[in-house]
Structure 1
Amino acid sequence: MPHEDPARTALPTSRPSVVLAGGGTAGHISPLLAIARAVVKAAPAARILAVGTATGMETRIVPAAGFELAVIDRVPLPRKPSLDLVKLPRRFAAAVRASEGILARAEADVLVGVGGYVCTPMYIAARRRGVPIVIHEANTRAGLANRVGALFTERVGKAFAATRLRHSKLVGMPMRPEIAGLDRAAARTSARASLGLDPDRTTLVVTGGSLGAASLNRTIAASLGVLASAGVQTLHITGRDKAVAGPDGTPLAAPGYHQTEFVDGMETAYAAADLIVCRAGAGTVCEVAAVGLPAVFVPLPIGNGEQALNARGLVEAGGALMVRDADFTPGWLEDTVLPLLADGTRLAGMAHAAAAQGIRDADAQMAAMVLAAAGDGIQEGTRA
């Protein structure tokens, strides 16, 4: 898949001021930070400001990553008639004014939006001030904010080919370089050793994400006997404060079973795994494709079906399986997952198919787009 070479993109001659908006969930914050880091790598003099809300996890994650954060009020769209709906126009207008103030103080040359409540007022503010807009859409079903923003720009990147969004082009999912650059085969032995796993044993990794997944946890806890009998070791990442207890109330223990609430750096878990069972958040789907890891996706059963849509392309390409949450039972695991883990040829084929769908340079592609837009913004400011 031919990609634009960022090294050939004309960078602005001044010190570009890049404002990035998004937050609320890790699905928005992770690509935002990946884009910010790629911009700084391509243009070390760039000034970076992130914008979120005071109630999102960005208040912790963005400063911890070394970037400045500004906040505006969260203005969600009420889903049914209420007093909040009556207050919406006034609250939204105030958020737009606050957004204009942030862009003015930052002397923004470009606004980058990745979705979330904060983006809509920021897009309107940028449009009013003539600040170029760049968008990244992480999900197969584009969010409302990015659908609005795409009316104001032709610079729109998307993580999934199936996403329908005005002016969008496929760039993939911006991700941390530790994941994008992972060589699973080369890192496998050291990754397993660092996680306390047997370096030579077939390895299943199970994770429900940072918040955990109770249904996945229950099925794995009930399947430890058949997994051990098949010679499979299991790394079970339960989620923070979601430790699985045994009959005596202490953390569940069994031969070949390794339980932890989280792994600091999922690239280690990806390298250790022969197969991963996980939810189908956009970031997870793109990461396992990028590193060529066979997967069993168990989409979140609530919401608008977004996770199943995210996983569909990789499943159709042969890089993954997908099962409904209600059907991910001990019986299904025994009948489907165990034979797959025993079939090295099939796993190798799935790994190859996944890698063929993966895109590892999305951050650089987005940085090139951002810096090209910033150059336009600087030229517009010079002419003004």
Structure 2
Amino acid sequence: MTFAIAAAGTGGHIFPGLAVAEQLVAAGVGRENVLFIGGDRMEVDLVPKAGYPMLRIRIHGLERRMSRRNLRIPRLVWEAARTVARELRDRKVGAVLCMGSYVTVPVAIAARRTGVPLYVHEQNAGAGLANRLAGRWADRSLVSFPDTRGLDGEVVGYPLRSALTTLDKASVRPGALARYGLVSGVDTVGVMGGSLGAGSINEAVTALSANWKGEPIQIVHLAGARNQDQVSTAGDSPSVTRRVLGFEDRMDLFYGVSDVVIARAGGGVMEAAVTGTPSVLVPGSFAGRHQLANARSMVEAGAAVLVDDAELASVGGILEDLLADPERRDRMRRAAIDAARPGAAATIATMMMDGADVAAR
């Protein structure tokens, strides 16, 4: 039996989908029987690299401004839905999981048309437009956070890959330090602006690195592939050792080496939580500010500090205070672990297999 996962656009949608796929394979489903459905963005590289087949459909997301491209969306949605419906029938797909993003609506329509059990998962504390629509047709709607705005669903948590849910920082840290050319015994800060990077965070961390007056620190800075060439370490303080990368597919090593992370508040909030990493969260102002709700949930749990984009100049002082207070960081570490639900991916995989079995009877 084949299972389909619609996950596209950014790492915040794709990596949770890959985490569920990993659990399907662990339960005995052949890797070739986990079909990903996507478009032309990051999934084109990430999914085949993970060893899964992918169906590419021609579709793009809604632009949040007046645009002629938006006028083409209804036709593209129906054409994509027909293509997906045909594939679901031909491949005898037993269940479909939609992870949000621009491919969700046509895939959900196709599942409804073909009678294939449909599961929708929302990764954020506020549901996106695609999941709010698809949730109306879903057999089960699943959410990462309690009281998720815009989608009434079962709280299962955020699906994470086993490399993160089973991470032993002490074991991986020596290898992680070697990977980044860093040394032991120095506080290390991870910086991540989401899978595509974040210009404001890059600028703030570059300024922080130039003006750092505290004890020596090391920084692993994931600037985003499109921004890497614009981020320079030339002006960094002698007390700062900073490694700038465009993208990191070994996030277990990134979190394994990080004592604190500075990050956007997308899917990374739960990656930091499950790895017990205190975080300074800088929510993006895009897509209905769902990241603000994510960040607030982690702050309320005691696992994070929230910094608004407009106040990024203060991040150096916040970081210095955190690094100088190991007891506070330990409290944040324990609160982060308590907030995580490491079994989410396995739970969703089991739901899909059970739903497919019931539908096949």
Question: Taking structure 1 as the reference length, what is the TM-score of the superposition?
Answer: 0.85
Q: Is the counterpart of residue 360 in structure 1 residue 345 in structure 2?
A: no
Identity of aligned residues (%): 34
Distance 1:210 1:82, change over 3 A: closer
Per-residue CA distance 1:257-310 (angstroms, 9 max, x = gap): 1222144412212121221111111x2011001111100011224442121111
Determine which of 20, 24, 43 is the counterpart of 2:5. 20
Q: Mark the structure with the bigger radius of gyration.
A: 1
Could you say if the C-alpha distance between residues 140 and 167 of structure 1 is closer, same or farther in structure 2, counting changes exceeding 3 Å? closer
The equivalent of 1:34 in structure 2 is 19
1:215 aligned onto 2:197:
no
Aligned ranges 1:52-71 → 2 under 5 Å: 52-53=38-39, 55-71=40-56
Q: 1: distance between equivalents of 2:207 and 2:64?
A: 39
Q: Which moved more, 1:222-231 or 1:342-351?
A: 222-231
State the partner residue of 2:59: 74
> 1:351 is matched by which residue type in structure 2?
R
Q: 1:304 aligns with which of 275, 285, 288?
A: 288
Q: Which residue of 1 aligns with 2:189?
A: 204
Query: Which one of the candidate residues 208, 211, 218 is aligned to 1:233?
Result: 218
Counterpart of 1:288 in structure 2 is 272
Instruction: Return the letter of the residue paired with 2:273.
Output: A
Amino acid at match of 1:49: L
Residue of structure 1 equivalent to 2:241 = 257
* Secondary structure at 2:184 match in 1: coil
Residues 167 and 194 of structure 1, relative CA distance in 2, 3 Å threshold = same
Q: Which one of 282, 305, 323 corresponds to residue 341 of structure 1? A: 323
Quote the residue 1:245 is aligned against. Answer: 232
Gaps of 5+ in 2: none
For 1:48, give the aligned amino acid: V
Amino acid at match of 2:343: D
Out of 31-40 and 177-186, give the one that drifted further.
Answer: 177-186
Give the CA deviation at 1:341: 0.7
1:100 and 2:82 aligned = no
Q: Which runs of 5+ in 1 are unaligned?
A: 1-15, 380-384
Deviation readout 1:205-245 (Å, 9 max, x if unpaired): 22223433332233322333653642333333333252433
RMSD (CA atoms): 2.4
**Which amino acid counterpart does residue 18 of structure 1 have in structure 2?**
F
Q: Secondary structure at the match of 1:245?
A: coil
Sort the Cα spacing of 1:198 and 1:157 in 2 relative to 1 into closer, same or farther, 3 A.
same
User: CA 1:260/1:225 → structure 2, altered by over 3 Å: closer, same or farther?
Assistant: closer
Instruction: Confirm or deny that 1:321 pairs with 2:308.
Output: no
Offset at 1:97?
1.7
Pick 1 or 2: higher relative contact order, CA cutoff 8 A, min separation 6: 1
Residues 151/195 of structure 1: CA separation in 2 closer, same or farther (3 Å cut): same
- TM-score normalized by the length of structure 2: 0.90
Q: State the partner residue of 2:262.
A: 277
Q: Counterparts of 1:83 and 1:356 in 2: how far apart (Å)?
A: 47
Q: Distance in 1 between matches of 2:320 and 2:134?
A: 46
User: What SS does the aligned partner of 1:376 have?
Assistant: helix
Correspondence for 2:141 among 156, 161, 172: 156
Count of matched residue pairs: 357
Contact between 2:194 and 2:224, CA under 8 Å: does it hold in 1? yes
Structure 1 counterpart SS, 2:228: coil
Greater shift in the superposed pair: 318-327 or 220-229: 220-229
